[in-house]
């Protein structure tokens, strides 16, 4: 097979065969196709697109380029949740124990964060002693015993995607729906999930800023899941402002504990109940999303979701006293600075990206992979979009350990807030749901 013929075919708008896609991906992964040919092909895909069949083929070939996680030792239908990435996205910490309490086996492979805040593992390490270095056997055992485990990702998943994503990054070919969809789905499929719930964020703080683009990405990913026999549901959700109130590792753990007690922020609670209901249905623990949602609300109200979190923290060696008394046993910053409004008005914008960078400046995130993060620091929002504010009222609390960075962060935070003289309605959290049966606008 000649690579140049495959590039020409796609350039001219043709549909590639499964064999042609296999050749491209596997030969590229073996370094037998040079970057310049793969770049030309990616640019042709950018302009010409790919059919659903081609996109599914590309996804499966990227899965086959590396190891696949085998979760078959774990009983039940394993459902994984994936978010396309937001600021202060505390959902995983809430959803894990919540759906586990409702009977969904949660076998989560996770990574550390790079960028504005930590990843799930970093957040969990706010509990003194918490360890995610489990053996494959212990991991499966713990899920079978208590319904939930989180483990650091060690397997070499989808090396072809890693290579191709790196290439796309420097050749102007990231922004292609079939390439993004296959990249994300290949990692989820290699991770061993039977079913997948996707949280596709849209808005100023999201990778997909435009809502229609986010819907297209959601449809493409659900299409891949359906083609390869993994039931997939996508929830399109708002990311015009950080989710919930807390941004930062221990602060988000505390927020998750509040939410599991039924006292969390409305937007975070709504998103968790929506994503969670679909997880419960895909796991076959309930027949309808309405029934699933009622079940989850019960698990919050009767305390069993919070109990599950405690059990999970204990099983992985974390200090469980922090579940009951987070203020006493989670890391705390030395200084808390109030950011106040210099005028009255209604909050009309809270630039999520800037607020994420502000939390990173305080030490909550990593700029490079070797940076050490400070679990205690971050931001707690007191006002969100649509809230009225009086001059002198507190907009947010900045938790920091260093005077100089706190001053810089305060300025940065103020620049991220826009106040309007007119009433503003808060954004709707859930924008749409895409399933294999079609689409529902919310």
Both structure tokens of 263: 């006292």
- Catalytic residue at 168? yes
- Residue 209 is a catalytic residue: no
Q: Is 356 in the site for Ca ion (CB under 5 A)?
A: no
Catalytic residue among 81, 116, 123, 168: 168
Contact pick of 59, 91, 126, 183 for ligand URA (by CB under 6 A)? 183
User: Which stretch, 175-183, 357-365, 409-417, 428-436, contacts ligand URA (CB under 6 A)?
Assistant: 175-183
Q: From the CB of 179, what's the least distance to ligand URA, in Å?
A: 6
Please give the full DSSP string across 85-125, using - where no structure is assigned.
Answer: --SS--HHHHHHHHHHHTT--EEEEE----BSS--HHHHHT
Q: Which is nearer to ligand URA, 126 or 186 (CB)?
A: 186
Question: Which one of ligand URA, Ca ion, none is in contact with 88 (Cβ closer than 5 to 8 A by kind)?
Answer: Ca ion
Q: Is 201 a catalytic residue?
A: no
DSSP string, 412-428: HHHHHEEEESS--PPPP
From edge to edge, which strands make up the β-sheet containing 417-420? 388-389, 345-350, 417-420
Please, what is the minimum distance in Å from the beta carbon of residue 237 to ligand URA? 16
Alpha helix stretches (DSSP H) within 148-285: 159-169, 177-190, 211-227, 249-260, 266-282
Taking alpha carbons only, the member of 245, 295, 276 closest to residue 88 is: 245
For residue 184, state whether it binds ligand URA (rule: CB under 6 A). Answer: yes
Active-site residue, selected from the candidate residues 110, 182, 183, 186:
183
Q: Are 113 and 287 in contact (CB under 8 A)?
A: no
User: Cβ(247)–Cβ(89) under 8 Å?
Assistant: no
Which three-class secondary structure state does DSSP give residue 389? strand
Q: Which of 165, 262, 349, 424 binds ligand URA (CB under 6 A)?
A: 165
**Which residue, 280 or 379, is less far from Ca ion as judged by CB?**
379
Is 109 a binder of ligand URA (CB under 6 A)? no
Question: Which of the stretches 17-25, 174-182, 230-238, 422-430 binds ligand URA when contact is defined by CB under 6 A?
Answer: 174-182
Distance, CA of 132 to CA of 12 (rounded, Å): 49
Catalytic residue among 10, 82, 230, 384: 82
What is the C-alpha separation between 17 and 2, in angstroms, rounded?
13
- Window 230-249: residues binding Ca ion (CB under 5 A): 243-244, 246
Rounded distance between C-alpha atoms, residue 254 and residue 264, angstroms: 10
Q: Are 350 and 385 in contact (CB under 8 A)?
A: yes
Determine the residue with CB nearest ligand URA: 183
SS3 content of the chain, % helix, strand, coil (to 5): 45, 15, 35
The site that binds Ca ion (CB under 5 A) totals a number of residues, namely 5
Q: Is 218 in the site for ligand URA (CB under 6 A)?
A: no
Q: Which is nearer to ligand URA, 3 or 186 (CB)?
A: 186
Q: Taking CB under 5 A as the criterion, which residues in 375-404 touch Ca ion?
A: none
- In 3D space, the residue among 231, 226, 199, 197 whose CA is nearest the CA of residue 214 turns out to be 199
* 180 is a contact residue toward ligand URA (CB under 6 A): yes
Q: Find which of ligand URA, Ca ion, none residue 286 binds, CB within 5 to 8 Å per kind.
A: none
**Annotated catalytic residue: which of 80, 89, 122, 161?**
161
Part in contact with Ca ion (CB under 5 A); list of ranges 85-93, 118-126, 145-153, 419-427: 85-93
Nearer to Ca ion, 63 or 395 (CB): 395
157 contacts 190 by C-beta, under 8 angstroms:
yes
Nearer of residues 165 and 213 to ligand URA, judged by Cβ: 165
At a CB cut-off of 8 Å and minimum separation 6, what does 253 contact? 93, 123, 124, 126, 127, 322, 326, 330
Kindly state the smallest distance separating residue 59's Cβ from ligand URA, in Å: 11
Instruction: List phi, psi (to 5°) of 418.
Output: -120, 130
Catalytic residue among 187, 201, 219, 258: 187
Residues at the contact surface with Ca ion, assessed by CB under 5 A: 88, 90, 243-244, 246
Q: Which residues bind ligand URA (CB under 6 A)?
A: 165, 174, 179-180, 183-184
């Amino acid at each position: 097979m000649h690579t140049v013929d495959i590039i020409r075919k796609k350039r001219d708008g043709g549909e590639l065969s499964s064999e042609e896609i296999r050749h491209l991906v596997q030969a590229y992964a073996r370094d037998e196709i040079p970057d310049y040919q793969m770049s030309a092909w990616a640019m042709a895909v950018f302009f010409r697109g790919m059919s659903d069949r081609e996109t599914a083929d590309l996804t499966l070939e990227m899965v086959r380029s590396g190891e696949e996680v085998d979760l078959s030792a774990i009983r039940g239908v394993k459902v994984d949740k994936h978010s396309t990435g937001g600021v202060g996205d505390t959902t995983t910490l809430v959803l894990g124990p919540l759906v586990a309490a409702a009977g969904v086996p949660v076998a989560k492979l996770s990574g550390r964060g790079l960028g504005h805040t930590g990843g799930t593992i970093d957040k969990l390490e706010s509990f003194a002693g918490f360890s995610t270095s489990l053996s494959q056997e212990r991991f499966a055992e713990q899920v079978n015993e208590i319904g939930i485990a989180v483990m650091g990702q060690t397997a070499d998943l989808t090396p072809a995607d890693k290579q191709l994503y790196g290439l796309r990054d420097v050749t102007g070919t990231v922004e292609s729906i079939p390439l993004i969809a296959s990249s994300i789905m290949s990692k989820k499929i290699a991770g061993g999930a039977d079913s997948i719930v996707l949280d596709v964020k849209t808005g100023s703080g999201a990778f997909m800023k435009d809502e229609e683009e986010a819907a297209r990405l959601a449809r493409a990913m659900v299409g891949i899941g359906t083609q390869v026999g993994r039931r997939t549901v996508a929830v399109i959700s708002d990311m015009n402002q950080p989710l919930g109130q807390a941004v930062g590792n221990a602060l988000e753990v505390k927020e998750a504990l509040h939410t599991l007690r039924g006292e969390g922020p409305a937007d975070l609670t709504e998103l968790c109940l929506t994503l969670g209901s679909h997880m419960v249905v895909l796991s076959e623990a309930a027949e309808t999303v309405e029934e699933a949602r009622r079940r989850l609300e019960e698990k919050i109200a009767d305390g069993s979701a919070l109990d599950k979190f405690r059990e999970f923290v204990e099983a992985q060696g974390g200090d469980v006293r922090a579940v009951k008394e987070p203020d006493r046993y989670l890391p705390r910053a030395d200084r808390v600075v109030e950011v106040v409004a210099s005028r009255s008005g209604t909050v009309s914008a809270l630039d999520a990206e800037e607020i994420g960078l502000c939390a990173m400046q305080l030490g909550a995130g990593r700029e490079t992979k070797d940076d050490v993060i400070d679990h205690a620091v971050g931001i707690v929002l007191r006002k969100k979009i649509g809230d009225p504010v009086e001059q002198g009222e507190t907009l947010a609390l900045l938790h920091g350990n260093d005077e100089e960075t706190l001053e810089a962060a305060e300025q940065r935070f103020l620049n991220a807030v826009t106040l309007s003289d007119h009433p503003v309605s808060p954004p709707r959290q859930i924008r749409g749901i895409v399933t294999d049966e079609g689409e529902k606008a919310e």
